[in-house]
Amino acid sequence: MLMSSSRALQRSCWFQFQLSYSDKDRYEREERPDAQKQILVDIAKKLPIFTRATSGAIRFCDRCQVLKPDRSHHCSVCET
């Protein structure tokens, strides 16, 4: 039961923190890393939780392009 609840929570987090098509397009078209970071910062400011690492970096999976929720260590989508 606990395992099933945990997986449901992971799926709901994935949908909540996935970039919209327009934000993903803006991010992918931007070539400058500093501008990409600013796009993520702007998106993260609108989220209901504080999505930053202790270093202040945005918690974001480069592989599947999903913002990671607080307290997550691995991406729930691609498990990296």
pLDDT for position 40: 81
Mean pLDDT of 46-61: 71
- Give φ, ψ of 5 to 5 degrees: -65, -40
> What local confidence, expressed as pLDDT, does residue 77 receive?
65
Q: Is the pLDDT of residue 42 over 80?
A: yes
Q: How long, in residues, is the chain?
A: 80
Contact 63, 78 (CB under 8 A): yes
Please enumerate in sequence order all residues whose Cβ is within 8 A of that of 39, keeping only pairs 6 or more positions apart, or say none: 23, 26, 27, 30
Rounded to two decimals, the pTM is 0.47
Rg (CA), the chain: 13
Rounded Cα distance between 35 and 75, Å, is 23
Average pLDDT over residues 3-27: 60
